Amino acid sequence: SAGANGSIEGEAQQEVAFEGDGSKVVAKPADGFYFVAWSDGITERERTETKVTASKDVTALFRRMLTIPYVCDFEGAKLPEEWATAMNGRYAQPWLISRSPRTLGDHLDGYFMVVDSDRETKADFESTLYTPRFTVPEAAAKRGLTVAFDLVFRDHTEERANLFLEYDCGDGWKVLGGKITSMTYRWNLNRLLDKSELVGKPYVQFRIRYASKWSYWALVDNVSIFVTGEPKVTLTYKAD
């Protein structure tokens, strides 16, 4: 299915024989929008189900392009309109907005995003949180971009849960700065996207990808994206 921001080309509802194949469908964004992913994590716009053994209901996610600098603190108590989440795998858990501490007391300010694999001992899944897609500012092609956010990432053991910050500039998703190390306390993560990755690119988008078996959780808040080394300006108010 799709909403008002795009449509499905092809047969949107298909009756398929057990272990049979479906027909191709394509996610088509409306003017001014772009395709993020399908709700089960597939990022290609075209898809065809093969050897089907169970019913499936997936949604094509479309969002509007935004500009940089950008800040999001999730205090609207719901996922901001231009963000998106997708997940796949056994007992997959979505990214959710919350203000409740985890069972060990982990929390961030006010409302924050959380993905929790502690809920299901048989968990083995990926869950991805997508930022909006942005036009690349001219200054970013000269100085690069900085992505910063507050984070708590708790893991049972190394390699049981993995967390990555990734980016896409129109040529596929890439990891930015390597795997994020598990930390049991709050800290502010900063990653720099080099200017060479942005020259001549039509857009840039980021995502936080959590790949986990049964483990603890990751919490994210206060996301900011800005041109690296952007000069500061001063506003002065006087009364006369």
Quote the tokens at residue 135. Answer: 């036009």
Q: Is the peptide bond before 69 cis (omega within 30 degrees of 0)?
A: yes
Provide the residue type at 149 as one letter: F
What is the pTM for the complete model shown? 0.78
Give the model confidence (pLDDT) of 64-107 as tens digits: 889 999 999 999 999 998 999 999 998 899 999 999 999 899 99
Give the model confidence (pLDDT) of 6-64 as tens digits: 999 999 999 999 999 999 999 999 987 888 889 888 888 899 999 988 898 999 988 88
Quote the tokens at residue 171. Answer: 């040529």
Q: Which residues contact 132 (CB under 8 A, 6 or more apart)?
A: 63, 64, 65, 66, 70, 80, 82, 83, 205
Helix (H) or strand (E) holding 142: helix 140-143
Nearest-10 Cα torsion for 186, 117, 162, 86: -100
- Calpha distance 117→151 (Å, rounded): 16
Going by C-alpha positions, the residue among 97, 114, 90 that lies closest to residue 212 is 90
pLDDT of residue 234: 66
Q: What integer best gives the mean pLDDT of the chain?
A: 91
Query: Which letter, b or e, does each residue of 55-66 get, where b requires 16 or more Cβ atoms within 10 Å of its Cβ?
Result: eeebbbbbbeee
Q: What totals of helices (H) and strands (E) does the chain contain, helices first?
A: 1, 16
In this structure, how many other beta carbons lie within 10 angstroms of the beta carbon of residue 152? 23
